[in-house]
Structure 1
Amino acid sequence: MKEISCKLLVIGAGPGGYVCAIRAGQLGIDTVIVEVAKPGGTCLTIGCIPSKALIHAAEEFDKVAHMASDKDPLGIKVGAPTLDLARTIAWKDGIVSRLTGGVAGLLKKAKVKTVLGWATFRDGKTVAVETETGTQIIRAEIVVIATGSAPVELPFLPFGGPVISSTEALALSEVPKTLAVVGGGYIGLELGMAFAKMGAKVTIVEALPRVLAQYDADLTRPVLKRLGELGVEVMTQAKAKGLSTKGDALLVETADGKNAKIAADRILVTVGRKPLTEGWGLEQIDLGRVGKFIRIDDQCRTSMRGIHAIGDVTGEPMLAHRAMAQGEMVAEIVAGHKRSWDKRAIPAICFTDPELVTAGLTPEEAKALGGEIKIGQFPFAANGRAMTRQGEDGFVRVVARADNHLVLGIQAVGQGVSELAAAFGLALEMGARLEDIAGTIHAHPTQGEAFQEAALKALGHALHI
């Protein structure tokens, strides 16, 4: 097979990799991208997109079920709903197929050559790709590693049979009657709440004192309330120990040191993700690491000249939009543009019910910097649009410096607040002050008004509370 030579080689066609390749192609850089599966990576094929499709289906089913319960305040009454999960999954797969096809088309439009197979480094500028038709050698001036991450497997709960990862959870053909979720982070709660809405009896097992520990207690309080309404049992300071002999229960050590069995048709393990650094021949190039992750600087350069790394393989935050931003930046650096990397304005979203959004610094992080801060918080209970959507639980919070009112962080919890993430990120990126947000006319009636009101509250003159 004839060798391929190129200016830029991207290994991995996830959000970071394919964006890097597309932008490089647009800039006229001779680019090759290698992917072992479909373009789109974990996010598009077995992560972000399919999970949001399942969450949406669960929300719609829950709404109809609520109407059938004769408790709906809107006066809408319907018969008891049923759910054909296999059909839901087929609908989800259709969305994924359209999007992966779209990414492939965009790569082709940008004149990026795609090679399907597993890449292994031979040296810092050469990889061998095992394809269906043999070994393809690719030589490149610059290489971008965008290999992503995979679910962490517990040694005492290996994946297989009733023990599943998020990947298998998003492909189930039937709703399990009982579901135990090991890990109370965002993935576990997003999927756990979705399956609870679809009729499963869900138990969350978390080793830490509370679930969603990366968020402060005020933000997570509405989520905990909703978990109770859905009948989800939350066990904190509890440790999963393994599978029962019959394979129909999860063995747990409770907070008081006692042993318990949790009946479970399926056990969903969501204890984090690990970088995919094995099997790529990275030992041939000996890159600097931070723990298991590849070490990078603010231009995503590794310890070896000519090799960049982006996305989950470089550490937290493991977010698709972070990888995309890194990929675009690296492509422009390769094209000779002056770019650098700043993660301070990256929003993070937890698609629970209600949703959580954070961008910038939390109040605690801002206080740790020293100096006085101002905090403005506005509840959705005082927002007309939220009330008309039955989404009064939650709030928007703005954190700013007390001296010059520079906004340092923004947080929100509430129904549909994920759509406010762009406004939060933009405010931080543009260096907004409280007066900028307060002085921006926000359309009425929208939930976005809570953002303006939070800024007004920090300034001492909120209008609607």
Structure 2
Amino acid sequence: MVVGDLAHERDLIIIGGGPGGYHAAIRAAQLGKSVTLIEKGELGGVCLNKGCIPSKVLTHGAAKYASLKEMDQLGIEIDSIMFNLDKLQAYKHKTINQLRDGVLTLCKANKIEIIKGSAFFLSDDRIGVENGDQYDIYRFNHAIIATGSSPKPPEGIQIDHERFLNSWSITNLEIVPEKLFVYGHDYVALEIAMAYNAIGSEVVLINEQDDFMFDSSINRELMRILKKKQIGVLKNNFILEAYTTDEQVTIVIKNKTGTEELTGSHLFISGSPVPNTDHLGLNRIGVETTKSGFIVVNHECRTSKNHIFAIGDVTEGPSLALKAIKQGKTAAEAITDIKAEADLRFLPVIAHTSPPIAYVGLTEEEAIEQGHSVETAQFPLSGNGYAAILGKKDGLIKVVFDKDNHLLLGVHIIGYGAVELISSGVFSLEMGARDEDLLFPLYPHPSLNEGFLEAVEAIKNQAIHLPPNLRKKINV
């Protein structure tokens, strides 16, 4: 090992080059800071190289393949269709490389210094960086921790990345699983279940909970769609044991009635994220963490050390790239004395399922628990003209209002276009919209946007394409 004799002086050091890290780096550079970005792996982090982008290539490819089967009704006749997983993998790698090169180009254009290596704190103003035999020390004025998280499998299950898979390896399969068990109830589990179902796998979803993570109305529609797709769903089941024999996966599940043994070809586990903080030496410098290892931050993303910030999956809250990006920009602005705040109250959550799911704000159940007098309405996409044209009539749009002051509390969508439509909900919640604010504007026709309008109209018993008995539901 070659040890540097002197500490290299740096202004802002960012540990981790994922979405949060490189957004923070570029924003800080825009504001005139000299930025050093340290990344031990590939630029773009887990999201670009192992998580978000690879999984969305899979879901996009699966959705396109499924849509080809519906072309005949539009007069587009295709004699034979096959899914070539090798070509999808090639497309995935091409996409990842292009996006990674784009991040690198942006960093260079913003004069960001990129250092390869594993970083850890030596003191509250010095960082050591190891890269093979090379070891250097850097003294900094400010630092941002953006080291992300890793999926943690359940106790007793060893991920081998061949038949026992996690979110980092499920998109690397070179064969379509004959029978895939999906263990989890979050959006990642649903994306994987629906994608592999679309390209030919028999899929069984195993859920430890008694339902999925969404509003009750979305969960009911989701269950109907899963049944329609012939995806098995086992609720309130826990995997006690899992092992491989003769190129098969055997799992032992436990439920209220006892235990059961099931066999398939692969098992995917959507594990709980664990923050990547063990190697950072946080205890050495006194940065406060929770019992689970997450770094405690304030609204500016400052840690208990005022000049050290933390963003993304190493902080508490949803493990979403959007959260990391917002926090990264906030930290960069706070460092340059700009008043900034990462308010994640109206953080949208999306699932690139088939059809997609998106929501923001409170569910009906959460609103009631928080003491609101709740008024809800929903509009089925089967009543939307443009959805009928597209042949995408599965799904619904649900709105949750406070009955007393008419404030919008939440928007929940399952259906084609949900990911794009949810931005209307985000803007409305951020601006404190009331029902009259959403009823007044003009909505393009024909479009899926009209479904959002009619869901709000249903609150007032004004929805044109709903029979009277379906227009609204009121909870006192």
TM-score by length of 2: 0.92
1:357-368 matches, cutoff 5 A: 357-368=358-369
> Is 1:114 matched up with 2:118?
no
- Superposed CA deviations along residues 215-270 of structure 1, whole A, max 9, x for unmatched, are 12310223222322332221122221222462622322242444333222221111
- Superposed CA deviations along residues 337-395 of structure 1, whole A, max 9, x for unmatched, are 11122111211112222211111111222223324233232221111111111222222
1:317-396 matches, cutoff 5 A: 317-396=318-397
1:3-14 matches, cutoff 5 A: 3-14=7-18
> Is 1:93 matched up with 2:93?
yes
Structure 2, unaligned runs of 5 or more:
467-476
Match of 1:141 in 2: 141
Q: Please say if residues 36 and 114 of structure 2, whose CA atoms lie closer than 8 Å, have aligned partners that are also in contact.
A: yes
Measure, in 1, the Cα distance between the counterparts of 2:170 and 2:81: 22
Measure, in 1, the Cα distance between the counterparts of 2:249 and 2:159: 15
Measure, in 2, the Cα distance between the counterparts of 1:363 and 1:232: 27
Letter in 2 for 1:240: I
Give the number of aligned pairs.
459
Match of 2:473 in 1: none
CA drift at 1:273:
1.5
Letter in 2 for 1:124: D
Match of 2:440 in 1: 439
Match of 2:471 in 1: none
Measure, in 1, the Cα distance between the counterparts of 2:448 and 2:133: 55
Measure, in 1, the Cα distance between the counterparts of 2:205 and 2:376: 32
Match of 1:64 in 2: 68
Q: Please say if residues 223 and 353 of structure 1, whose CA atoms lie closer than 8 Å, have aligned partners that are also in contact.
A: no
Measure, in 2, the Cα distance between the counterparts of 1:428 and 1:228: 33
Give the 3 Å change call, closer, same or farther, for CA 73–291 of structure 1 in structure 2. farther
Measure, in 2, the Cα distance between the counterparts of 1:105 and 1:336: 27
| Corresponding residue SS for 2:172 | coil
Q: Please say if residues 312 and 327 of structure 2, whose CA atoms lie closer than 8 Å, have aligned partners that are also in contact.
A: yes
Measure, in 2, the Cα distance between the counterparts of 1:341 and 1:41: 21
Q: Which is worse superposed, 153-162 or 167-176?
A: 153-162
Match of 1:19 in 2: 23
CA drift at 1:156:
1.5
Measure, in 1, the Cα distance between the counterparts of 2:444 and 2:254: 49
Measure, in 1, the Cα distance between the counterparts of 2:311 and 2:327: 6
Match of 2:37 in 1: 33
Two-structure CA RMSD over aligned residues (Å): 1.8
Match of 1:55 in 2: 59
Measure, in 1, the Cα distance between the counterparts of 2:403 and 2:419: 27
Measure, in 1, the Cα distance between the counterparts of 2:235 and 2:402: 35
CA drift at 1:51:
0.8
> Is 1:222 matched up with 2:226?
no
Match of 1:123 in 2: 123
Q: Please say if residues 252 and 260 of structure 1, whose CA atoms lie closer than 8 Å, have aligned partners that are also in contact.
A: yes
Measure, in 2, the Cα distance between the counterparts of 1:419 and 1:352: 14
CA drift at 1:32:
0.9
Measure, in 1, the Cα distance between the counterparts of 2:425 and 2:206: 32
Measure, in 1, the Cα distance between the counterparts of 2:295 and 2:244: 40
Q: Please say if residues 54 and 194 of structure 1, whose CA atoms lie closer than 8 Å, have aligned partners that are also in contact.
A: yes
CA drift at 1:175:
0.9
Measure, in 2, the Cα distance between the counterparts of 1:313 and 1:41: 13
| Corresponding residue SS for 1:315 | coil
> Is 1:45 matched up with 2:27?
no
Q: Please say if residues 183 and 205 of structure 2, whose CA atoms lie closer than 8 Å, have aligned partners that are also in contact.
A: yes
CA drift at 1:305:
2.1
| Corresponding residue SS for 1:446 | coil
CA drift at 1:404:
3.0
Measure, in 1, the Cα distance between the counterparts of 2:372 and 2:278: 45
Measure, in 2, the Cα distance between the counterparts of 1:460 and 1:219: 21
Measure, in 2, the Cα distance between the counterparts of 1:177 and 1:236: 22
Match of 1:240 in 2: 239
Q: Please say if residues 162 and 266 of structure 1, whose CA atoms lie closer than 8 Å, have aligned partners that are also in contact.
A: yes
> Is 1:315 matched up with 2:319?
no
Identity %: 33
Measure, in 2, the Cα distance between the counterparts of 1:129 and 1:56: 38
TM-score by length of 1: 0.94
Structure 1, unaligned runs of 5 or more:
none
CA drift at 1:85:
0.5
Give the 3 Å change call, closer, same or farther, for CA 279–404 of structure 1 in structure 2. same
Match of 2:273 in 1: 273
Measure, in 2, the Cα distance between the counterparts of 1:446 and 1:176: 37
